[in-house]
Amino acid sequence: MQRHEVVVVGAGLAGQRAALAAVQAGRDVAIVSKLHPLRSHSGAAQGGINAAVGKEDSVETHIYDTVKGSDYLGDQDAIEFFCTEAGPTVVEMEHFGTIFSRAPDGSLARRAFGGAGFPRTIYAADRTGLALLQGLWERLGTEEFTLYEEWDLTKIVVRDGRVRGIVAFDRKRGDFEGIAAPSVVIATGPFGRVYGRTTNAHSCTGDGVAAAYDAGALLKDLEFVQFHPTALLESGILITEGARGEGGILKNAAGERFMSRYAPHVLELASRDVVSRAIVTEVAEGRGFPGPYGPYVHLELMHLGKEKIESRLQEIVDYSRIFAGIDPITQPIPVYPGQHYMMGGVGTNSRGETNLPGLFAAGEAACVSIHGANRLGGNSLLETLVFGKQAGLAAAAHATGAPRAEVAAADVDAAQAPLRAWAARKDGEDPSALRTELQQTMERYVGIYRNEADLLEGLKRVRAVKARFENVRIVDQSKVYNINLTDALEVGHLIELAEVIVVGAYARTESRGAHARTDYPKRDDAHWMKHTMARKTPEGPNLSYTPVTYTRWEPKERVY
Amino acid sequence: MASEMVTAAFDVYRFDPARDPAPRYQRYSLDLAPHTPVLSALLKIRAEIDPTLSLRYSCRSAICGSCAMQVNSKSRLACETPIGPEIARHGRIVVEPMRNQPVVRDLVVDQEPFWRHYEQVEPHLILDPRHPMPEGVANPMTPEEVERFKETPRCIACAACFSACPAVEADPGFPGPMALAKLYRFVVDPRDQARQDRLVRIQPGGLWTCLRCHLCTEACPKDVRPSERIRDLKEMAIAAQGATEAGSRHAVGFKENIRERGVLIEAKLVRQTSGVGGMLGQLGQGVRIYRRKPEILKTPHAIEGADEVEKIYEALDRPNEDSG
């Protein structure tokens, strides 16, 4: 058994920032990650990080835009804290060594993003996540901590209502081991792979969120799933909102700039949920382009000119050429909305604390909630850093003077028993096939537009996949780097979380932000201005609700 | 974007050190569209034919750096290498683990040597407490200063360059292209306060082992051009410290040597690179070469138009803004 004071699971921006805060607070910190930290999905974030540092802009406006963007489901006290921390957070990352794009006067360059009153998105070309990930990892590298690289989380150990540590699986050795700690921070990112068409990496399987749910933590607002308007056709690879921020426009098969019908004032820079629904509506009404990988619309950059495209959207040029075989300097990019971001996650407060003493969460794995029903572009990178730090501080404080944690051999045995059973089967379900079935179900029945009949059918099908998972089988019998085993582990996590998404979406009989019910098209503040909280039971998720925290902003109709 | 399917034959390196006595190649054949990336094909093999094939992958969009491997003997990201051109050129697709890193299993390598060299160049800002950063505001940095990083911020640490580098293979102490490109990134960073120290520290055994073969630049999926940055580092190192290493003396010596007569004076170059003591050390080798090629000791005549050569040198000696 290993022992530390703070164990951070996940090594993207949120996990690294939590680890840095806990190390600086003097704690013995371990990071457990199934990927090398520099391979984390944070690095795929393209567009930028919001901070109201411009003279014409204000923290107040950033708060208002975020509240409005959240469709009034964001907790306003948390949003105020979040936006207030934005400037210092970006400056800190610059001091850590992040290489940002610059304005001619040497200040941090800013670009326009959807749903924002001013150009407040600070960026590093179109690879802001990578720039931040490099800067933070380089800074963290000067501190003392233990890295469990390519270890998978299998269980959070809780005894007598307190967290005692985790059980994890070392891919290279193939061994399970207990890692004891009084404080565990979940920063494992999203679980976009519950959907087929997603901008998320293959590794985004919600391992920490599923483990927290299994350990008794409450999951919050999982029905709010953001679909990014411009995922590349076929592969689902992200084409940054920065492409529209730089002046890119959307056109349907009739050559119309159709956003004028849906958001006449801000057009393509309306909030993501609005633009995604507009594209789906255009296609549904027969104005999409047909193709072997499904219908699509065009994102045009050509009018921006070669120089601007190549200097500000360098990765996008490469992605379009390599993954769609088109040159965005001379051709439109074929796009369709794809799952992009999970507003929901492990429920926390602004300090990253969950309902379980000793368990903390941050980043996309968590739900504070600042994004409410819809996240604004540029707010997620900021969230990882602001709340990663808070979770690290709270975890460090909780661990200070805490009794020594133990993970018993029995806990390790219990965690690995099901996996041993999967490998021992002579016959059973293939994890890849179950994942495909799950993804198709979610795509078809729990997508951008939802209704009662679809959600019921979706739930039935997700539960059928869940039942089949009971009989999952691992063919690979090797101990060394057995990704057949980690595949099964991940699919199990996805199934649990998909069920929570569907149950929450079915129960919420209103439309708000990214949750669009065709049978309940209006926002219903009288009944639904509240957060969904899901607790795991043997029968499936048990839902309860908690109120949204208000400070100064009364709900208004959301128009762009 | 729709295209005719082709039957693709993959020969994939398989090795589980815990169970296999030796590596083997396994043949998988499947029908795919020519634009299918190698990674998608491997995942299809895993899902439909053989779930025991092990590899490292994550983002499938050339940004996480997980899936570097050898595709038909070239270090590539599997996720951005379409199968069509590979089949057209080679008839099949041979997939092997990266080189210069021990194999863990199948296509998965142990990247410890790669990361160790990365750590060795101190990949973080080194600050001088006498020059603290501006409180509460970002350091100013002009777009021109950002330009000086060249393409190094695009590095995704995939190690394709490390795998392709013959100098790494010959000398495991050589940091390799990625680590040196990372070093360059810190050397040109106006916020870093250890520029001179970095250039001095990297020289012994670090910089001059590079063979200038440019295979790293060819392998890099993000156009970081490590070999060009290594060249810049060499120039900066000589400017900072003078020619103190065999490698830098060889470079400077080469330049001055040719200037003299417009042609290389081979015997003289050994002294310029190694000094008189070094020459004595290489005496045995020198005698062997002399036996095969006695003209080596003759000083060649100046070539015709040697004054034109001098003009090239004058142009070279003008300050190079590029590599500051």
Q: Is the pLDDT of residue B2 over 50?
A: no
- Band (B319; pLDDT cuts 50, 70, 90): low
Question: Testing the interface with A: which of B1, B59, B106, B126 to mutate, by most A Cβ within 10 A?
Answer: B59
Which of A153, A477, A133, A35 has the alpha carbon at shortest distance from B108? A35
Structure-block tokens of residue B141: 């940095």
| Per-residue model confidence as pLDDT tens digits over B167-221 | 999 999 999 999 999 999 999 999 999 999 999 988 877 888 999 999 999 999 9
Q: Is A515 helix (H, G, I), strand (E, B) or coil?
A: strand
Q: Are the C-beta atoms of residues B64 and B156 closer than 8 Å to each other?
A: yes
Q: Residue B233: in which H helix or E strand, if any? A: helix B226-241
Look up residue B246 and give its two tokens: 């065999």
- Per mean pLDDT, which range of A182-186, A202-206, A263-267 is the poorest? A263-267
Residues 275..294 of B with a Cβ closer than 8 Å to A: which? none
For the record, the structure tokens of A204 come out as: 């985004």
pTM: 0.94
Cα B165–chain centre separation:
6
Whole-number pLDDT of residue B1: 46
> Is A64 within 8 Å of A106 (Cβ atoms)?
no
For chain A, give the percent of residues with pLDDT over 70.
100
**Helix residue ranges, H only, A157-255:** 207-215, 242-245
> B288 Cβ partners below 8 Å, 6+ apart?
none
**Count H helices, E strands: chain A?**
16, 23
Q: Does A476 reach chain B within 8 Å, measured CB to CB?
A: yes
Residues A177, A3: Cα–Cα separation, whole Å: 11
Question: Does B115 score more than 70 pLDDT?
Answer: yes
pLDDT tens across A525-534, in order?
999 999 999 9
Mark whether A272 is an active-site residue: yes
Q: What residues does A157 pair with on adjacent strands?
A: A165
In this prediction, residue A457 carries a pLDDT of 98
Rounded CA gap, A292 and B254, in Å?
59
Distances (CA, A) of B231 to A418, B209, B235, B238: 55, 12, 6, 11
**B111 to chain A: nearest residue by CA?**
A36
pLDDT of A175: 95
Bridge partner residues of B27 (DSSP): B11
* Crossing angle of helices A379-399 and A76-96, rounded to 10°: 90
Using an 8 Å CB-CB cutoff, list chain B residues near A43.
59, 63-64, 156
What number is the average pLDDT over the span B113-123? 97
ipTM of predicted complex = 0.95
For residue B147, give how far its alpha carbon lies from the nearest alpha carbon of chain A (Å).
10
B225 and B176 Cβ atoms separated by less than 8 Å? no
Q: Which residues contact B169 (CB under 8 A, 6 or more apart)?
A: B99, B100
Exposed/middle/buried for residue B64 (C-beta within 10 Å: 0-12, 13-18, 19+): buried
Residues 13-72 of A with CB under 8 A from B: 35-36, 38-41, 43-44
Candidates B104, B123, B138; nearest CB to A94:
B138
| Residue position matching structure tokens 């979040």 | A82
Closest CA to A453 of A400, A518, A512: A518
> Alpha-carbon Rg of chain B, whole angstroms?
24
**B74 DSSP β-pair partners:** B71
